Amino acid sequence: MEEEFERAMKSALPIIESAEGCHGAEVRRQIEEPSTYLLVVTWESVEHHMVGFRESSAFERWRELTHPFYVERPDVTHFEDPLAR
């Protein structure tokens, strides 16, 4: 269902990218395992993601578009750029 997922992500990415505090998002498909994808979102803060976006109606639309394709619950982790300090 990779093609269907990619179509859904084309619709979903503008939703997350329009969220307050989002500074961009991109999706990558793994070459070795083409059914594995990586979503990288740059947030102003963890709170913008976990509170601002995850508690919004936009997240509900995001979930409708993307969650039906998950084989298992995705890992969500937050990173910072140690060189930006």
- What are the per-10-residue average pLDDT scores of the chain (85 residues)? 93 96 96 94 95 95 93 89 85
Measured in degrees and rounded to the nearest 5, phi and psi for residue 74 equal -70, 150
Taken in order of first residue, the domains within the chain and their CATH numbers are 2-69 (3.30.70.100)
Measured between alpha carbons, how far is 32 from 15 in angstroms, rounded to an integer?
29
Q: What is the pLDDT of residue 8?
A: 95
In the prediction, which pLDDT does 74 show? Answer: 87
What is the pLDDT, as a whole number, of residue 76? Answer: 92
Alpha helices in 18-56 (DSSP H): 46-47
- pLDDT of 65 reads 95
Q: Which of 3, 27, 28, 25 is nearest to 14 (CA)?
A: 25
What pLDDT score was predicted for residue 81? 86
Nearest-CA neighbor of 69 among 36, 45, 28, 23?
Answer: 36
Two tokens, residue 17: 């990218």
